[in-house]
Amino acid sequence: MSPAERAAELRRLIDRANIAYYVHDAPEIPDAEYDRLFRELREIEAAHPEIATPDSPTQRIGAEPATALRKHTHLRPMLSLANAFSDVELAAWEDRNARLNADVRHGGYTTEIKIDGAAVNLTYAGGRFVTGATRGNGTVGEEVTANLRTIPGLPLILQGQGHPGLMEIRGEVYFSRKAFERLNADREAAGDPPFANPRNAAAGSLRQLDARITRSRRLGLFAFHVEVVEGTLKAATQWEVLDQLEAWGLPVAPHRARHPDLAAVQQAVARYETMIRTLPFEADGVVVKIDTLPLHDDLGVVGGREPRWAVARKFAPEVAVTRLLEIRVNVGRTGALTPWAVLEPVELGGVTISSATLHNDEIIAQKDIRIGDWVEIVRAGEVIPQVMGPLRERRDGSEVEFAMPEECPVCGTPVDRPADEVVRYCPNVSCPGRILEGIVHFASREAMDIRGLGYERVRQLLDAKLIRDVADLYELDAERLIALERFAEQSAAQLVKSIADSKARPLSTLLFGLGIHHVGKTVAVLLARRFGTMAALRDASEEAINEVPGVGPVIAAAVHHFFRTARNRHLVERLERLGLGMTEPDATVTDGPFTGMTVVLTGTLPTLSRTEATALVERAGGHVSGSVSKKTSLVVAGSDAGSKLEKATALGVPVIDEAELLRRVAPRP
Ligand code: IVH
């Protein structure tokens, strides 16, 4: 292949990876591989300048923003960082800078953790947070102000003094490992695909169209940079910038350090590498910054993309090589077929890996993974190990290409492939594979919490034809169980009791256990609180479901569809006859702080949307009305409140602000 051909191929691969990553939040290749492709392309273009093209991915950052959110043009471009993968590369970085300005060797360095999240640009005018945006392509991002406002650490008004009149604060929005695991567990339980890593989860959460969803995700923020647009910043070093950010009330990542020279930086890097694994969030390196700010302007930016004054010292990802023995296909509760690799067990980052997900057949084909291949497995800060690709040079011809089965591996029904999806589904709702997964989910601890009912037992009950669906569980009796293998009198009685005990669970738990598509634990609680009873939810219109704060149109459609399906209605009726609880204890508020009150909302509230404020009032027992009259008990007024406020004052109706509303509806201790 000629260099020009290889460069063209690399550009195609990188563009594709960019779109998957930036637009779809669904990366197709691990970061380490992306970095490798990018570097190879840059090297070819450097060696053969005649083949560099203006539209090469080396000339721009990321891809175009998705269209659903409003675009935002950054006042100053959002830059990326060059990488250094070793001490030698770090020294080369300093040498290059020193050739431009010898002072760089004497001013010292600041090091910061490189948080692995989604970059954000926060515009502050007069000390107030006015606009927030994602990076997008570095010049134009997506406006996500409402979503960013939901992040508790983000100050809406800066504290302290010395804020430049207009500035952009740059930072990283991230997921803690814990919040990430919780989110993924919830998504998997709801039949939604899990996020591959906390970074993608953060990016996806930021780009939600409904800020309530963002809020429920518990994102964190760390700030690390200021671009002054108007006014001045009282800081002479990067270290002081971080101090200043902290003084203004912005969260700054822990473990920052200051070093007199590069040798000290290199020593610190070794310490960071072990420390970073213990952090409660993901970090993928250390950012080394020249401390002295005047040197930043002096050194400038490479290719409009990377500042010379900072570099990301990345740690080598943990890689292991092993044999891919077999590719099996799993059938999920929703019928989704997922191929996964059975690996010869191998040590990676302190754990033994014997399997890895392969996502779907397109990815398998794209990476050219074959059964019998030697493959590289990576865990680059990623929670789930990934198969990076095959070692083609180790093939002996015995490797076999994988084809996704045309029939469900469990029930043999021909599989479906929806036109706009890469995933294949078993369409058979009675597929034993799907039923098994569904019943195990129903009984799981997070759902109905039926002790002693895991995969083994459920499979045994299905095989013995004692159950076909979850309702059958409640008709089991101890005698029939004892007749089975591995059941004794006591264990049979225990299981029957555990099943009976689960009848008392609240509606929200039952809704979650039923495994309605997109209904995770959080959504189940929102629905149960709002509708109170199964019957009310069953009969609710799609619009009414859509209006529940935290529930979007996709969820509303799925829930509505669930109850329009005869099978599901029969199942729910049977469960009710069998004595399962169909109500939510916390739902009807008869003794809330606003019980019996009619409340009017007017003007723009500083942090709550109208829907959120309405939900708060209703959850506190109140009723929200659109117009002020003598019957109005209370008016909640924000800025630009017009005639309603005037009328309330004229009628002598009490008026409160958002802060007071929040105080009144706060749960009593
Ligand atoms: S400085 C002009 N500092 O890494 C500012 N970036 O790969 C250049 N990142 O786009 C970035 N932690 O989103 C900087 N302490 C840190 C960082 C950091 C994470 C992200 C940032 C940047 C990306 C570059």
pLDDT (tens digit, 9 = 90+) per residue, 407-446? 999 999 999 988 777 889 998 878 989 999 999 999 998 8
- Residue 63's pLDDT is 36
CA of 77 to the centre of ligand 1 (A): 13
CATH number at residue 40: 1.10.287.610
284, 170: one domain: yes
Q: CB burial class (10 A; 0-12, 13-18, 19+) of residue 567? A: exposed
Main-chain dihedrals φ then ψ at residue 601, nearest 5 degrees: -105, 135
CA distance 75 to 65: 17
Q: Is 223 in the pocket of ligand 1 (CB under 6 A)?
A: no
The mean pLDDT value for 531-535 works out to 89
Ligand 1, residue 227: give the atom nearest the CA. 2
Q: CB burial class (10 A; 0-12, 13-18, 19+) of residue 8? A: middle
Confidence bin at 62 (pLDDT 50/70/90)? very low
215, 330: one domain: no
Q: CB burial class (10 A; 0-12, 13-18, 19+) of residue 58? A: buried
Closest residue (by CA) to atom 21 of ligand 1?
119
What is 496-546 written as a DSSP string? Answer: HHHHHHGGG--HHHHHHHTT-TT--HHHHHHHHHHH-BHHHHHH--HHHHH
CA of 568 to the centre of ligand 1 (A): 49
CB 634 within 8 Å of CB 644: no
Which of the listed residues 287, 314, 341 is the one where a domain comes to its end?
314
151, 291: one domain: yes
Position 65 pLDDT exceeds 50: no
Nearest to 458 by CA among 439, 479, 486: 439
- Residue 641's pLDDT is 85
Main-chain dihedrals φ then ψ at residue 325, nearest 5 degrees: -85, -35
Position 668 pLDDT exceeds 70: no
Tell me which residues are annotated as active site. 114
Query: Which of 47-61, 162-176, 273-287, 378-392 shows the lowest per-residue confidence on average (mean pLDDT)?
Result: 47-61
Largest CA distance in the chain: 89
Which of the listed residues 504, 524, 555 is the one where a domain comes to its end?
504
- Residue 14's pLDDT is 85
Position 495 pLDDT exceeds 70: yes
Q: Which residues pair with 135 in a beta bridge?
A: none
For residue 519, give Cα distances in angstroms to 202, 557, 560.
20, 11, 12
Q: Is 227 in the pocket of ligand 1 (CB under 6 A)?
A: no
Q: How many CA atoms lie within 13 A of 646 on its CB side?
A: 3
Domain containing 623 equals 598-665
CATH number at residue 346: 2.40.50.140
Confidence bin at 380 (pLDDT 50/70/90)? low
92, 240: one domain: yes
- Residue 39's pLDDT is 85
- Residue 586's pLDDT is 65
Query: Which of 56-70, 125-139, 293-307, 601-615 shows the lowest per-residue confidence on average (mean pLDDT)?
Result: 56-70
- Residue 30's pLDDT is 80
Report the length, in residues, of the chain.
669
- Sorted by sequence, the CB contacts under 8 Å of residue 132 that are 6+ apart come out as 120, 121, 122, 123, 143, 144, 145, 147, 148, 149, 154
246, 342: one domain: no
The mean pLDDT value for 481-503 works out to 93
For the chain, percent of residues with pLDDT exceeding 90: 53
Nearest to 248 by CA among 233, 238, 236: 233
512, 497: one domain: no
Q: Is 310 in the pocket of ligand 1 (CB under 6 A)?
A: yes
CA distance 449 to 451: 6
- Residue 579's pLDDT is 94
425 within domain boundaries: no
CATH number at residue 514: 1.10.150.20
- Residue 608's pLDDT is 82
587 within domain boundaries: no
- Residue 669's pLDDT is 44
- Residue 289's pLDDT is 98
CA distance 84 to 87: 8
What is 118-137 written as a DSSP string? Answer: EEEEEEEETTEEEEEEE-TT
144 within domain boundaries: yes
516 within domain boundaries: yes
Nearest to 317 by CA among 347, 361, 349: 349
Ligand 1, residue 114: give the atom nearest the CA. 12
The mean pLDDT value for 275-303 works out to 91
Q: Is 250 in the pocket of ligand 1 (CB under 6 A)?
A: no
User: Average pLDDT of the chain?
Assistant: 88
For residue 526, give Cα distances in angstroms to 469, 523, 546, 619.
26, 5, 11, 11
582 within domain boundaries: no
The mean pLDDT value for 53-67 works out to 53
Ligand 1, residue 81: give the atom nearest the CA. 24
175 within domain boundaries: yes
CA distance 642 to 101: 59
Position 371 pLDDT exceeds 60: yes
- Sorted by sequence, the CB contacts under 8 Å of residue 618 that are 6+ apart come out as 589, 624
> DSSP character for 13?
H
Structural domain count, the chain: 6
98, 234: one domain: yes
Confidence bin at 272 (pLDDT 50/70/90)? very high
CA of 81 to the centre of ligand 1 (A): 7
CATH number at residue 173: 3.30.470.30
> DSSP character for 446?
T
526 within domain boundaries: yes
CB 380 within 8 Å of CB 284: yes
Q: Which amino acid is at 543?
A: E
521 or 484: which leads in pLDDT? 484
pLDDT tens for 126-154 read 998 999 999 998 999 999 988 898 887 78
567, 603: one domain: no
Angle of CA points 535, 538, 544, to nearest 5° = 110
CA distance 563 to 567: 9
187, 289: one domain: yes
Structure token digits, residue 572: 């729910």
Position 22 pLDDT exceeds 60: no
pLDDT tens for 73-105 read 999 999 999 999 899 999 999 999 999 999 999
CB 147 within 8 Å of CB 134: no
Confidence bin at 241 (pLDDT 50/70/90)? very high
Place of tokens 């013995």: 464
The mean pLDDT value for 446-473 works out to 93
498, 512: one domain: no
- Residue 590's pLDDT is 56
The mean pLDDT value for 156-182 works out to 91
CA of 113 to the centre of ligand 1 (A): 9
259, 327: one domain: no
408 within domain boundaries: no
The mean pLDDT value for 369-373 works out to 97
Query: Other CB atoms closer than 10 Å to residue 10's CB: what's the count?
Result: 22
- Residue 67's pLDDT is 46
CB 239 within 8 Å of CB 577: no
The mean pLDDT value for 351-376 works out to 91
114, 237: one domain: yes
- Residue 228's pLDDT is 96
Q: Is the pTM value of this prediction over 0.75? A: no
Q: Is 115 in the pocket of ligand 1 (CB under 6 A)?
A: yes
- Residue 52's pLDDT is 75
CA of 170 to the centre of ligand 1 (A): 8
Closest residue (by CA) to atom 18 of ligand 1?
114
pLDDT tens for 497-521 read 999 999 999 999 999 999 998 898 8
57 or 47: which leads in pLDDT? 47
Helix (H) or strand (E) holding 566: helix 566-577
Pocket test for ligand 1, best of 38, 238, 250, 287 (most atoms within 8 A of CB): 287
Which of the listed residues 449, 476, 504 is the one where a domain comes to its end?
504
The mean pLDDT value for 634-655 works out to 90
Structure token digits, residue 313: 């010292």
